[in-house]
Amino acid sequence: MKYYNNILQTIGNTPLVKIHTMCKEVDALVLSKIETVNPGNSVKDRMALQMIDDAEADGRLKPGGTIIEGTSGNTGMGLALVALLRGYKLICVLSDKQSKEKMDILRAVGAEVHVCPTNVAPDDPRSYYSVSKTLADTTPNSWYVNQYDNPSNTKAHYLTTGPEIWEQTEGKITHFVVGVGTGGTISGVGKYLKEKNPNIKIWGIDTYGSVFKKYHETGIFDENEIYPYITEGIGEDILPKNVDFSVIDKFEKVTDKDAAVYQRKLAKEEGIFVGNSAGSAIKGILQLKEELTKDDVVVVLFHDHGSRYVGKMFNDDWMRERGFLDEEKTSAVDLIKDHAGKHLVTVTEENPVSQALLLMNQYGISQIPVVEGNKCVGSLSDNHLFAKLLDNSELKELPIKHVMEAPLPEVDGKASIEEVSKLFSNGATAVVVNYDGDKKHIITYQDVIRAIA
């Protein structure tokens, strides 16, 4: 019989698959290392196992202990598998930009999940770096993994991923391309490959909003490079010890939009259903295609599985809301596609002004049509209401008809975007669009800007 003794034995030995159509314009042979077939569906199983093995070996992790880690989800999954098989408790600290799927998956394999705000500085006590450290300091018999600075992270890739790639390409690899987060993957694989052949180029994929590329090129840690971004798993606002800049030949930045668009292309055009950083990595190769020639053998590593992104990059509404879907917008009805499913908030002439204020507040909107049946008879805007209320705060309890303004201009769904824009340049604060028979919706200035930007 041929079987494994437990799931951990299935980690590693992942396949190398040629990119079928997406790299046609690249002269080189492009092969992808599909890490999604690891039991936790990501490359991170490798380093999770190595980090725990090493911590057990030198006594940092003791029987019955609690493992604590700040993780974007994939490392957590790897740690969870090892923890549950070896009888440890696992606490994962995540930032709130991580997909809900990742959080639910971690809970499914027994981890306790803490969610922290993304947009705070690393040394802010609410940051996921700080919360992880505090939990580690206050939980008895605990071990803080710290994948950023833990050398076992890089070691896992030096001992397994690097040798696999070398053997699978029979030493013919010329370029290794991969997204960089903690740096473990690129540094471990890069070190191994450079030792085998120092001419192999190691290219790191970075994202806009991260410090890596500039630091690599100039030695300057530039805080101005740091801002929130959408791409998951890669880029940092710190310099993790696991990033060995000396084995990296070049960093290439890929935009959030391209990462998402190329992640979807990998699924649609290659049948390779992988994560967001894979989209960045494949796009990075296309951006660098001029540097590749026909004898080159490029290996790109795809970190994790697409299922973790079904509520985000693989969801059309999510993509549309961020302007990531290149749908041609030509008519008024195209402008409201991403909120057509939401009901139009309206008031009637007889409703009290306080009702309009409540709705504006609740839905975060700045104008409301006043309707009678299906007819717009007036409108209210927050600026106008504010000015009126400053004059007389008792207006709040009066019927809306006493303060309402003229109805918003209306257009048919088929009206052109130019027609709609003209109404805004003539001073309209919003425009009502009539479509699908008797449906109405509101077009805001932001909707028009998004369409023409």
Residues carrying an active site annotation: 44
Residue 306 near residue 388 (C-beta atoms within 8 A)? no
How many residues line the site for ligand PMP (CB under 6 A)? 17
| Shorter beta-carbon distance to ligand PMP: residue 164 or 232 | 232
Q: Which of 16, 54, 8 is nearest to 35 (CA)?
A: 16
Residue 181 found at the interface with ligand PMP (CB under 6 A): yes
Q: Report 245-304 residues binding ligand PMP (CB under 6 A).
A: 275, 277, 303-304
What is the three-class DSSP state of 437? Answer: coil
Interface characters, 58-77, with ligand PMP (x: CB under 6 A): --------------x-x---
Residue 179 is a binding residue for ligand PMP (CB under 6 A):
yes
Q: Which is nearer to ligand PMP, 102 or 441 (CB)?
A: 102
Q: Give the chain's end-to-end CA distance (angstroms, integer).
A: 61
Listed in sequence order, the DSSP H helices in 304-369 are 316-321, 332-335, 353-363
- Nearer of residues 181 and 378 to ligand PMP, judged by Cβ: 181
**Per CB under 6 A, which of residues 354..373 are in contact with ligand PMP?**
none
CA 334, distance to chain mean position in Å, is 26
Residues in the chain: 453
3-state secondary structure of 150: coil
Stretch that binds ligand PMP, among 184-192, 309-317, 350-358, 385-393 (CB under 6 A): 184-192
215 or 435: whose CB is closer to ligand PMP? Answer: 215
Residues 74-113 that bind ligand PMP (CB under 6 A): 74
Q: Which is nearer to ligand PMP, 72 or 367 (CB)?
A: 72
Find the shortest distance in angstroms from Cβ 184 to ligand PMP.
4
Residue number with the shortest CB distance to ligand PMP?
233
Give which of 145, 221, 153, 220 is closest to 187, Cα–Cα.
Answer: 153
Per the CB < 8 A criterion, the answer to whether 400 and 349 are in contact is yes
* CB-based contact 262:285 (threshold 8 Å): no
Closest Cα partner for 287 from 23, 8, 9? 23
**Residue selected from 12, 40, 65, 184 as contacting ligand PMP according to rule CB under 6 A:** 184
Q: Could you tell me if 100 and 73 are in contact, meaning their C-beta atoms sit under 8 angstroms apart?
A: no
Interface residues for ligand PMP in 226-245 (CB under 6 A)?
A: 232-234
Question: Applying CB under 6 A, which residues contact ligand PMP?
Answer: 72, 74, 179-186, 232-234, 275, 277, 303-304
